[in-house]
Structure formats: structure tokens, C-alpha cells
Chains A and B, each alone.
Chain A
């Protein structure tokens, strides 16, 4: 060894026992203020280096969850294993203490609820890691634990009101507090069902958190498709992962980056560092020049149509109430701007005009609509043109006949099939 105090300090940080002589030399060096300042820099750098190789936000999240567990344990005692010996005596005293606490608890609702508050329950194919170490089979999960679902998936219940389905290979950490349940999604997809009025629930990821009260929704965290060699550090890799939130019923509030976003039934949102987009699926309520209203579940979602997006303006103008569509949008300043429309539907009506490639039909009690076939095969010089099969079918139609037209949205509503209705 060199006898340099810095090297001795470095060994101390590496958890090595120091000899008496080295400890004395280091103590003497640290009495000197400039050396102390240098040692503080060493400490700081060591912590920076360690945080570079461990995703600190996740570690802190787990540590916080474990703190909550420790607070609860002090009231009720650990329940994941049968107690024995000293721990049994401790358990008895804890039970007595809990009974005493219960007597006082009428004065504070938390103390009342925590003694009866349901502990986390897990069923299915799952591994439980505690402090990074796998626990024995049959161990009950607690806050701070990491749960990794096996190929069969698993289901987790928190607080008796949050039922969470873990897809195969999904990985979550139990965090949160009683009546403010939270999981930290590390990997994979979870579907959560939350009973209304029983407490709060949120799913936290590195991208942000998704909060909910009484709903069903899915959150998935996946790796993006590889785009060649990357030299991202672990933290960057984590942030590049794709987060998808899909609401099955109810409403959720997403806090993603600096953005807060409300999603309702049949809406989803993809968040992946350099890319963000939402989707709303439902039926058209109204379609105007500046606004598109879609009924998604029980709610009506208002989307904004930007005048600069000529194609979107055109596609929206062709929509009719009742059309089933999926609108893709980006959220800006609290509004959802439509960037793409997808949809497919059928309409029955009388042919009122045929002027290939156009066909015009008028549904009974509906407004007249014009359709043309899809464009296939690039530029006309390259052999591109309207779908020939559909074009022929259009030419064969007679004004006055009744037809069923199947349409898709592809640069406007396009007819893909025509059938006579007898």
C-alpha cells in the first residue's frame, strides 16, 4: 500500500478494515481542512459513481416503500412468517401494544384502519424478491418487495380494493401507503381494477405516474425495438423504454414528464422519451372544422382539428355521427390535437350518382356521401391507380339501386367493397 491518506480513505469506502497505523494516518490527515474538503469530494464522487450504475429513483422508491412497511410493522408485527422464540415474544408484546393502540384509535382514523387494513396478497406464478434476494415459497408479500410474474402471470391485491393482474414476466415493486396504494412498474404489463371510493391508487414508472380512483386500466413498460448500436447508460435506457397507458373503464390522470393528461374509457397514451401520442377510440358525435367529438365509453372526448393539417380537416369533414373511428393525437397545452384518423364502417343507401371513380349514395334519413376507391401502387407512371376491382364495381352501379358500402379511412373515406341490398 502507498501510505497515501487518499488511498487509505478509498479502502475505508471499500469497507476494508484498516490497520491501527492506517487509521491513525487517515485521522491525522482529516484534521487538516484542505484534506477534509478533498475527502468530501471523494465521498461525493463515490456516491455519484454508485448512482451511475444503479437506477437511483427505483432504489429510493423501494426504500420509501420499505419505510412505510416498517412503520406498519411496528403496529401490527410482521405477518409473512410464523413467529418463534424471541420474535414470538416480540409479537405478543406487539399484539398487546396494538390492542392498546386500538383503544386510542377512535381518536384517529388511520390508527383504526391500519390494524384492520388488508395486507398485500399475491396469487399465481410469481417470485418475491426482498432486498434483491428471493424469498421462500409461501412468503406473503409486503411493501418494498419486488414481484416478478412467471409465464403463468399473477394477480396482486392491495388494500382490498386494488386488483392488479400481472402479465407473464411483468415486474413490479409494492410501494405506497394504506389507502394510497401504489406500485412501481419495472417491466411488462399490468392491468389494474380499482374499486371506487375505497382509496387512491397509482402506478409509478420512470416516465411518471398514473393516478386513478375507481377504474380499470392497463400500463405496459417495454423496450423499444433496437435501432442498431446504442451507448446509453442504464438511466438513459430506462427512460427510452415505451410506456403505454390504456384505459378500459373510468378515468385516469397521467403525470408524465412535465405533462398532466386525463384519459378516459377507450383512450390510450404512448410515452417514450422522444415520441408521445394518444389514441381515442369511439363513435363520432360531431365532426366540425375545428373540433371532433368522439363518444368513448360513457364520456364524450373533444379533440382539436388544426387548420394546418389539411388531410385531417378533409377526413374529419367526411365523418358522420355514429362512424366508428380511432383518433391519434398529441397533447399540447391541455388540448388533444388530431394527427391521424383510422376507421372502418358500413353504410347502406340509395345510389344517387355514379361518376367513376366517384360514387354517391344517400342513406335513408342521412346526408349524401361520396366515396372513391383506395389508391394502390404509387405514382401513375409507376403503375399506380385506384383499386381496379372496386372501380369496376362502381361503374356497374345503377342510380336508384340500394347498396351497402364498406369504407375505410385512408386519405379520406375510401370504398373497399360494394354489395347490392335486395
Chain B
């Protein structure tokens, strides 16, 4: 299926197509695919807050397509994921200001990750993560909570802890590395409960 341009600056209303009744098919598309696409984009952006905007952009492009009288043939989920990848690539380049060399490398990541990523809500994964979080010391748990639960920026966490932001970044990197390894062990059945 044809994809919208890479650098889409947001959908514009196409009046010709407005006459068509796109309400029902669009609603159906949103009901069927929103959760899956949101999870996919969250995965491609590493859970960035822009996941919402990017998901909405993808669906607004789908809306434009329907309003222009172009129906989806085949799986609309494939079209949506392709569109999402384009939007995420553009996001890495424009919003995250990564160099074109790095952006190309990240493009490859997105291309190799064409899956719905429903794993986010997987109860087994979440249970494994809970067990691993339970093995952390109180202060490490607090650091994880400050970063992920309270969403505090490093500078703020450093200020609260009277520590250096750089030191905290390295510590959090190692914590995440340890947690990821722990979850993988748990899921492969090698972890201890």
C-alpha cells in the first residue's frame, strides 16, 4: 500500500472527500488498531511522551486517506505501521535532532521492528519485571520511581539527591542493563523467584 510522505507536516482537510461518509470506517479503524499502533510507536520511540502525538498523526493521515475516497485494501494495520515508521523516522530527525548518519542507523532499527509490540501489556513480562524490581535496593528502586513514575528530568533528580546528573545517568543505565538481563533470565526460566 502507498505510504504518505516521510516529512508529513500534519494532515490537511480534503474537501472533495469530505462528502464521503468516513465516520464509520474511521471509527472502526481506530477501535481495531489504536492500541496496537500506540504500543508499536511507544516501542519505536522508547516510550517517549510524543507517542500520543505520533499515533494521532498516523490516524489523521488514515482519516485523510478515507476522506479522499481511498479505501484500504488488505490489512490497514500494515499501512498504519508503515506510516508510523515514517513518522517516527521524521521525529528522530526533526524533534530529537540526531545527525543524518545516526538517523539512517535508527531507520534500520525501525525497518527491522515491524511487529505490533503487544508485548508491552504482556502479564508474564510485567510479572518478571516486578520480580526483578523487587530485588533492587530501596535507593535504586527510588531512583527508578523518580525517573519513570514521577517522570522527573535528570537535572531535577540530581538536585533532589544532591548528586551529579552525569553520575545518575550512568547509574540508571547500569540499573536498566541489570533489570533487562534479570527479566530475560526470568522469562527463559533461569531466574530465581
Contacts and interface: CB of A to CB of B under 8 A. Distances in A.
Interface of A: 1-2, 6-7, 10-18, 20, 23-24, 26-27, 30-31, 36-37, 39-54, 56-57, 59-60, 62-64, 66-68, 70-71, 74-75, 97, 100-101, 104-105, 107-111, 177, 180, 231, 233, 235
A66 B52 contact: yes
A75 B129 CA distance: 44
B134 A67 contact: no
Contacts of B98: 12, 18, 23
B46 A40 contact: no
5 closest residue pairs by CB, A with B: A50-B47, A30-B105, A110-B23, A108-B21, A13-B46
A41 B109 contact: no
Nearest to B122: A48
Interface in B33-47: 34-35, 38-39, 42-44, 46-47
B163 to A, nearest CB: 16
Interface in B102-129: 102, 104-106, 108-109, 112-113, 117, 119-121, 125-126, 129
A1 B52 contact: no
A53 B142 CA distance: 12
Contacts of A47: 39, 42-43, 46-47, 117, 120
Contacts of A66: 52, 56
Contact of A26 (B102, B113, B176, B183): B102
Nearest to B154: A14
Nearest to A232: B130
18 contacts: A6-B177, A10-B169, A10-B172, A23-B102, A24-B99, A24-B102, A27-B101, A30-B102, A45-B176, A46-B176, A50-B42, A56-B39, A56-B121, A60-B39, A74-B13, A97-B15, A101-B18, A107-B21
B190 interface: no
B162 interface: no
A20 B99 CA distance: 8
B90 interface: no
B169 A14 contact: yes
Per DSSP, are chain B's interface residues mostly helix, strand or loop, or mixed?
helix
Contact of B180 (A23, A45, A104, A105): A45
B129 A49 contact: yes
A40 B35 contact: no
Given A18-B98, A36-B108, A47-B42, 11 more contacts: A12-B98, A16-B169, A51-B42, A51-B47, A54-B149, A63-B34, A67-B34, A68-B30, A74-B11, A110-B21, A235-B126
B38 A63 contact: yes
Contacts of A52: 126, 129-130, 133, 148
Given A47-B117, A56-B120, A108-B19, A41 B180 contact: yes
Contacts of A15: 48, 96
A104 B18 contact: yes
Contact of B13 (A7, A36, A68, A75): A75
Contacts of B46: 13, 42-43, 46-47, 50
B102 A36 contact: no
B59 A67 contact: yes
Contact of B18 (A40, A43, A70, A111): A111
A42 B181 CA distance: 11
B19 A107 contact: yes
Contacts of B97: 17
Interface residues of B, number: 67
Interface in B132-153: 133-134, 144-145, 148-149
Interface centre among B30, B52, B63, B166 (most CB of A within 10 A): B52
A104 B67 CA distance: 12
A108 B69 CA distance: 13
B72 interface: no
A125 B175 CA distance: 44
A3 to B, nearest CB: 12
A27 B104 contact: yes
A49 to B, nearest CB: 6
B6 interface: no
A48 B102 contact: no
Contact of A180 (B27, B39, B112, B145): B27
A1 B21 contact: no
Contacts of A104: 15, 18-19
A226 B141 CA distance: 23
Nearest to B55: A63
Nearest to A114: B23
Given A7-B170, A20-B99, A53-B148, A40 B47 contact: no
A22 to B, nearest CB: 9
Contacts of A105: 18-19
Given A30-B106, A43-B46, A70-B56, A36 B96 contact: no
Contacts of A11: 169, 173
